[in-house]
Structure 1
Amino acid sequence: MRRLSFLISSLLFSSLSISSHAKLLTDPKQIGKDYDFVVVGAGTAGNVIANRLTENPKWKVLVVEAGISNDGLELISTPYFAPTASPNKPWTWNYTTTPQVALGNRTLNYERGKLLGGSSSINYMIYTRGSSEYWDSIAKYSGDSGWSWKTIYPYFKKLETFTPPADHHDTSKQFEPSVHGFNGPLGVSLPGYPNEISGRIINTTNADPTTFPFNLDGNSGNQLGISWLQASINDTVRSSSATAYLAPKYISRPNLDVLIEQQVTKILFSKAGRTSPHATGIQFSAGPSSPSFTVSPSKEVILSGGTVGSTQLLLLSGIGPSSELSSLKIPVVLSNPQVGQNLVDHPALANHFFANSGNTLDDLKRNATDLELAEEQYNNTGTGVLVDTVSPAIAFLRLPSNDSVFRQFPDTASGPNSPHYEFVWRDGWASFLPITAPTTGNYTTITQVVVAPASRGTITLNSSSPWDSPLIDPAFLTNEYDIILSRFAIKSARAFMNATSWAGFNLGLAPDAAVAQTDDEIDDFVRSNTVPIYHPIGTNRIQGVGKGETGVVDSKLLVKGVTGLRVVDASVFPFIVAGHPEATIYALAERTSDVIKQTWA
């Protein structure tokens, strides 16, 4: 591995090698004309769909991806560098939000992956399935028992291979093997490098098991408590949907074509001889000055462009609020005011504490020589600090059931055994804000995430051009309930770090947080420091069965009101998972692949 600075600069002028993906196509003239399915987006869900559908040798599948190959991007493949894989890289969409009114009108980076693997190639690799109550709530809402925990759970086991951590230490007390899979495409693992804060985290659960209980495996369906972090890592490298589901043995299938660096600009519809508009194909191009091409599958167009991409494409293609479409002179194919509504994301915030230590990751960031030595160790032995992502552990916690907030607001958690907020730790300074880290001192960070927010936002078009980014408004903290949850999480983080396990190590709040003591000061701190954690869902949500419930897709993820079109990505979730959505999207796509197979059996 080369030095980080050289990595970044070299990638800026390289069109990127695709050597290990020999079947990747970059010229639209290379594709065929007889596809059964066209998948839009080679991201977290799209690659699952392509992989599973091409298990049937009689079906031919084309995947069209706007971004580049993931090959050769060491900044992406090395777990430690996950926080530096975005923003503002050649392989990200580099979106920004609209000014967030509840965050002092700040405009925020809103990163999505623009490469093979999509956001699974740039995320922090944190692998969480959600609680059993979460999945059961989707089943109840949709009226489809196929989304229940009982039905989804086998798909989680099917998709993963739980792999030993990089240092091959004894993991018998760190996870429950019986709830995991050992033969799937995706590598999932535990921390593989000793960390000075790991023992303190676990010891805190022993000292205060009521407030901070230990949970052997938070991916068992019982999510509450503090567990060792599970991450989508295969031994020492990132495991993404590209490396897992487009591995050489899969992408070499003669019935699978993957076309990259081509953006889908429109879904094509026809109503000839039909009662409803039918998705006949897609239009795509390499850029606004490049020629356009079309392709027409015989069975379905499947959108897997992610919450932002799929929503924008539906709107550009004439499916959405008729008033919005008409104002942009986009012909209305189907009026559905729900497209682009109900956007939900997790607000995050970093809590910083002074650490009485000389071994935090702060020095690794400041000292180029130390980083070079860590890279050399990683390359030569597959060991060392670079084998792990951001945290050794993860916590999912709740407000007390008798908290006064529930006299004002309904409980947004999926159930009484599901969390309201999350903690992940960093042995050093970590921040999502565009600020410079301190040049001296050592720190511990607890990043808190409100995982059951009440605020709802929107995605709308900025123009009728597919080359213009849409308007993304997560509406963070616009519901007062989310402020209250954030305030409680801050106090909880401080209580955790003041436990006896941290005596002599935690030297108190860092200056940025020390100014926030009263509730009003803490609320101001929340509004000034909250950022996205890039978990958008819900803009094309499943239709509910209750009276007055509306949606964009049915429980089989087919777009309502048209035929031949399905959406398979995070945008269809009616509720946000209390955790990181990667694993849930894999399971969603795995089950939907079977639904598609049954549809066309």
Structure 2
Amino acid sequence: MLKILFIILPLLISSVCSKLFTDPTLIADDYDFVVVGAGIGGSVVANRLSENPSWKVLLIEAGMDNAGLEAISTPFLAPTDSPNKEWTWNYTTVPQPGLLNRTLTYQRGKILGGTSSINFMIYTRGSTDFWDNIASYTGDLGWSWASIVSYFIKLESVTAPADHHDTKGQWQPLAHGLSGPLAISLPGASTEINKRIVQTTRTNSSEFPFIVDGNTGFPLGISWVQATINDTLRASAAAAYLAPQYLARPNLHVLIQQQVTKVIFQKNGRGLPHATSVQLSSSPSSPIFTVSASREIILSAGSIGSAQLLLLSGIGEQEALAAQNITSVFNNPEVGQNMIDHPCLVNHWIANSTNTLDLLSQNTTDFNAAEAQYEATGEGEMVDTVSPLIGIFRLPPNSAIFKEFPKVKTASGPNAGQFEFLWRDGWATFLPVPYPNGSYTSVSQVVLSPASRGSLVLASSDPFTAPIIDPGFLTSEYDVLMSRAAVKASRDFMNTPPWKGFNMGLAPDQADAVTDDEIDTYVRENTTPIYHMTSTVRMESTTGGDGVVDSSLQVKGVTGLRVVDNSVFPFIIEGHPEATIYALAERASDLIKFTWKDF
């Protein structure tokens, strides 16, 4: 009988381990590694560490399963179906003085895959300057472009667009990976503005040049958008790194709908606080469970979640923690500080067309027809994200803004952008305003290297109470002037010859913004987040005395604790952060493996 049990029990355990857990009583009490947060960072790290069959890995996610949710798996629905849903954290900011005291929604994904399950899927690696700047700042050449590019190759898998058109001249496939877990693709359906954008790069090439591939380290110019889309579906971190073949690993457990509320420390042999376990619960009134990690705890809860969890666990400014009755473990005033985010503004023009994507937002019949086509054939408007192309630009070096703000660091270097354009064949907005009738073209602009800084502090010692979030949008006048310059550049773009007869003039929401003062008011009234917050747990510099983690992402002042997510970057990427977090997490996984290779 005992022999039969020894044969059957491993099979039963393997069957259980291939499923997601929602009940903490069904998992083990201790693991080699506990990873907190199943966004990009956590999904990658849990996957890579569980490649070693001798290591037991637990991944904990506060949110829900991502499976079967068409509202987030359909690329076209990304901008419309995420705010205030059960799969988002639904944060809000404090009133923003730079935005005329508006309070903003501040979305993060609360779901397997994290924000990669609800974002716009735009995949930008960043410039050579961005990565080399991090290497110089930290003194760690492993973060240089020359070193990090191999991780991009490792994680990527070039896939055909949904319409299987000839992509020659739209990117450089040899610059990308072919067999990684994450699918990268090009737009799979054409809109009426695609050719006009490309034609503008020919008629006005000096101001708006075309580049074949914006992900070779030199992104300045206009290129076709690369997105994390696999044929017709969103390729989230969950789809890529927590696919069934990985969840089937008997040494990988994934626990969802449980929020980690605290990291527990004990003194190690050197007298330093050592992270030994985490506490977790499903709600303020639910039981609290504890899970131990014999090697490391890795926080991947994002720029808000990881900073909040460090503070709740006693790592932060000592007096502020005492005010919340939290015992200090290590005094570090930088936790939650230095927050950076990209301010975004959408500009609108009236389009001389009866075939824009506005039809899908204004007419239920058209939307249903597009949805039926998508479900039946995998073709049509719903296979793509918000923009077919992306533009990354710099102002001329002699622009007055640089003379007025000579000490502001204007992006990572000459290869990095200062502002970005995304185009929409229809009305686009992040604002909670009614969708107007009519046909429109939108150009979303993003200030890529903002000078404004914000912060995150605890509102309460209750882990289920959201922190106080202040991104500090447009608190630096530099950002306002850069936004103004981008507004003018977008108008220059839309007034080029390819748009003649199609562009019928500025939409009513900004038609009266003509003078610099009027444009600045329009900027402050309409700027929103694009949800790229970073640097709340940033890496320390070579000078020391700053930062929250070292260049190997280990939390300073304690042992056994790392942070692997967008919060650790010392600078904001001049682009979209998704790709950079994947590469960060891939390298972090190797750093962790190297740490424990002899144990």
Q: Which TM-score band (shorter chain)?
A: over 0.9
Q: What secondary structure, in the 3-state scheme, does the structure 1 residue paired with 2:253 have?
A: strand
Contact 2:387–2:422 under 8 Å retained in 1: yes
Q: Contact conserved, 2:72 with 2:82, CA < 8 A, in 1?
A: no
Q: Which one of 98, 108, 112 corresponds to residue 104 of structure 2?
A: 108
What does residue 309 of structure 1 align with? 305
Aligned partner of residue 576 in structure 2, secondary structure = coil
Summarize deviations over 1:237-266 as a string: whole Å, max 9, x none: 000000000001111101100000000000
Structure 2 residue corresponding to 1:288, chosen from 272, 277, 284: 284
Matched, 1:247 2:243: yes
Match of 1:325?
A: 321
Tell whether 2:137 aligns with 1:141: yes
What do residues 476-520 of structure 1 show as CA deviations (whole Å, max 9, x unaligned)?
000110001000000000000000010000001001111100000
Deviation at 1:22, TM superposition (A): 5.3
> In the alignment, residue 508 of structure 2 is paired with which amino acid?
P
Matches within 5 A, 1:107-126: 107-126=103-122
Contact 1:20 1:71 in 2 (8 A): no
Native 8 Å contact 1:346 1:534 kept in 2: yes
- Conserved in 1, the CA contact under 8 Å of 2:18 and 2:250? no
SS of the residue 1:157 aligns to:
helix
The reply to whether residue 260 of structure 1 matches residue 260 of structure 2 is no
1:430 to 420, 424, 428: 428
Aligned residue in 2 for 1:556: 552
Cα displacement (A) at 1:34: 3.7
Where in structure 2 are the equivalents of 1:47-196 lying within 5 Å?
A: 47-196=43-192
Q: What residue number does 1:536 align with?
A: 533
Quote the offset at 1:272 in angstroms.
5.2
Distance in 1 between residues matched to 2:478 and 2:368, nearest whole Å: 46
- Report the Cα offset of residue 412 of structure 1: 2.1
Question: For the Cα contact (< 8 Å) 1:421–1:452, is it kept in 2?
Answer: yes
Residue 362 (structure 1) aligned to one of 358, 362, 369: 358
Counterpart code for 2:470: D
Among 390, 395, 399, which residue is 1:399 paired with? 395
Return the TM-score normalized by structure 1: 0.96
2:505 aligned counterpart, secondary structure: strand
Q: C-alpha offsets along residues 390-440 of structure 1, whole Å, 9 cap, x if unaligned?
A: 00000000011111111122342110121100000000001101100112x
1:488 aligns with one of 485, 489, 508: 485
User: 8 Å contact 2:17–2:250 — kept in the other structure?
Assistant: no
Aligned partners of 2:17 and 2:253 also within 8 Å = no
Q: TM-score, normalised by structure 2?
A: 0.96
Equivalent position of 2:456 in the other structure: 459
Please say which of residues 399-408 and 444-453 is displaced more in the overlay.
Answer: 399-408
CA distance in 2, matches of 1:43, 1:85: 19
Corresponding position of 2:411: 413
Call closer, same or farther: CA 1:20–1:417 in 2, change over 3 Å: farther
Unaligned regions of 5+ residues in structure 2, if any? 1-14
Classify the secondary structure of the residue corresponding to 2:294: coil
1:20 Cα shift? 13
Mapped partners of 1:511, 1:78: distance in 2: 31
Aligned residues with identical type, % of pairs = 62
Distance in structure 1 (CA, Å) of the matches to 2:518 and 2:16? 53
For residues 295-325 of structure 1, the C-alpha deviation after alignment (integer angstroms, 9 at most, x for no partner) is 1111000000000000000000000011110
Which residue identity does 1:529 align to in structure 2? N
Cα distance in 2 for partners of 1:309, 1:479 equals 26
- Residues 549 and 577 from structure 1, CA distance in 2 versus in 1: closer, same or farther, beyond 3 angstroms? farther
Classify the secondary structure of the residue corresponding to 1:526: helix
Which of 581-590 and 359-368 deviates more? Answer: 359-368
Match of 2:509 among 500, 509, 512: 512
Secondary structure of the structure 2 residue equivalent to 1:222: coil
Q: Work out which of the residue numbers 462, 473, 478 in structure 1 matches 2:470.
A: 473
**Does the 8 Å CA contact 1:340/1:458 hold for their aligned counterparts?**
yes
Moved over 6 A (4+): none
| Partner residue in 1 for 2:224 | 228
Separation in structure 1 between the aligned mates of residue 441 and residue 200 of structure 2, nearest angstrom: 15
Tell me the residue number matched to 2:8: none
Matched AA of 2:225: L
Aligned residue-pair number:
581
CA RMSD of aligned residues (A): 1.2
Inter-partner Cα distance in structure 2 for 1:411 and 1:544: 16
Residue 339 of structure 1: how far off its partner (Å): 0.2
Deviations 1:44-75 (A, max 9, x none): 11000000001111111001110000011100
1:503 pairs with 485, 492, 500, which one?
Answer: 500
Gaps of 5+ in 1: 1-18
Counterpart of 1:552, as a letter, is V
Question: Structure 2: how far apart are the matches of 1:328 and 1:264?
Answer: 18
CA contact (8 A) 2:29 2:290 kept: no
For 1:84, the aligned partner's letter is T
- Kindly provide the amino acid, as one letter, of the partner of residue 463 in structure 2: P
Instruction: Using the TM superposition, name which of 19-28 and 430-439 deviates more.
Output: 19-28
Quick one: distance in 2 between partners of 1:26 and 1:422? 41
Alpha-carbon contact 2:344-2:529 (below 8 Å) kept? yes
Aligned counterparts of 1:154 and 1:561: Cα–Cα separation in 2: 31
The offset of 1:368, in angstroms, is 1.1
Instruction: Tell me the residue number matched to 1:13.
Output: none
Aligned twin of 1:218: 214
The one-letter amino acid of 1:494's match is R
CA distance in 2, matches of 1:22, 1:194: 40
Q: CA deviation at 1:152?
A: 0.4
Residues 159-194 of structure 1: CA distance to partner in whole angstroms, max 9, x if unpaired? 111101000000011001111111000111000001
Equivalent-residue separation in structure 1 for 2:439 and 2:416 (angstroms): 34
Give, in whole Å, the separation in 2 of the partners of 1:354 and 1:33.
Answer: 60
Quote the offset at 1:273 in angstroms.
Answer: 3.8
Q: State whether structure 2 residue 327 is matched by structure 1 residue 342.
A: no
- Corresponding letter in the other structure for 2:510: A
